[in-house]
Chains A and B, each alone.
Chain A
Amino acid sequence: EDQVTQSPEALRLQEGESSSLNCSYTVSGLRGLFWYRQDPGKGPEFLFTLYSAGEEKEKERLKATLTKKESFLHITAPKPEDSATYLCAVGGGRRALTFGSGTRLQVQP
């Protein structure tokens, strides 16, 4: 059974204080690892897809990396508008994605 564990559950940062979110996974045959951002009262918004170990993708202040066991979402010099819940999901043997419970990020000015 595919499993995804995200840590920490919640993270509070000061504006400009860089940090990383962790996503550990077990999956039978990784087809893709996905990062989403979810704002309160809204649906998940797609950020990145990673397909193989060693792959990295960047978008503004966010950078996602992938190893054979985990993925990191690095946030560089965050701003208050980066506050959201970040979700990690894996695509494996079944069609649907398996999601972690998310990391709630709060960036204070």
Chain B
Amino acid sequence: GAGVSQSPSNKVTEKGKDVELRCDPISGHTALYWYRQSLGQGLEFLIYFQGNSAPDKSGLPSDRFSAERTGGSVSTLTIQRTQQEDSAVYLCASSLGGGSQETQYFGPGTRLLVL
């Protein structure tokens, strides 16, 4: 595809419900990242996938958050038992390779609101 795509664009849910956010990276990109952007805050790293290697989950804020990447392409971020503090924009990025010198290209984000 032309760029990173994410769905849904917006999600409103009730506290305690589970949500799934989807990311489709740029074709051929081996690395995929999830970040969270809260109002007025910088981007906060959540999780990183590179090829077939074990993901780097060091940024996940709690065990309610999990992510998977199927077939080295599409990724799903799942938040269980959502809380109001989970409200934020969830951004996905991909890069050609996995080093931190690689340019990351971002999707449009999913705006999550937990009521």
Contacts and interface: CB of A to CB of B under 8 A. Distances in A.
Given A43-B106, A43-B109, A95 B98 contact: yes
Interface residues of A, number: 27
Contacts, number: 72
B31 A95 contact: yes
A96 B100 contact: yes
Given A95-B56, A95-B98, A96-B59, A46 B105 contact: yes
B104 interface: yes
B33 interface: yes
Q: Is the interface of B mostly helix, strand, loop or mixed?
A: loop
A42 B109 contact: yes
Nearest to A92: B100
B35 to A, nearest CB: 8
A78 interface: no
A24 to B, nearest CB: 14
Contacts of B108: 42-43
A96 B106 contact: no
B33 A96 contact: yes
B99 interface: yes
Interface in B16-75: 31, 33, 35, 40-43, 45, 48, 50, 56, 58-59
A16 interface: no
Contacts of B100: 31-32, 91-97
A97 to B, nearest CB: 6
Contacts of B107: 43
Residue among B4, B31, B42, B105 facing the most chain A CB atoms (10 A cut-off): B42
B48 A95 contact: yes
B32 to A, nearest CB: 11
Interface of B: 4, 6, 31, 33, 35, 40-43, 45, 48, 50, 56, 58-59, 91, 98-109, 111
For the complex of A and B, the 6 pairs showing the least CB-CB separation, nearest first, are: A91-B100, A96-B45, A43-B106, A31-B101, A99-B42, A99-B43
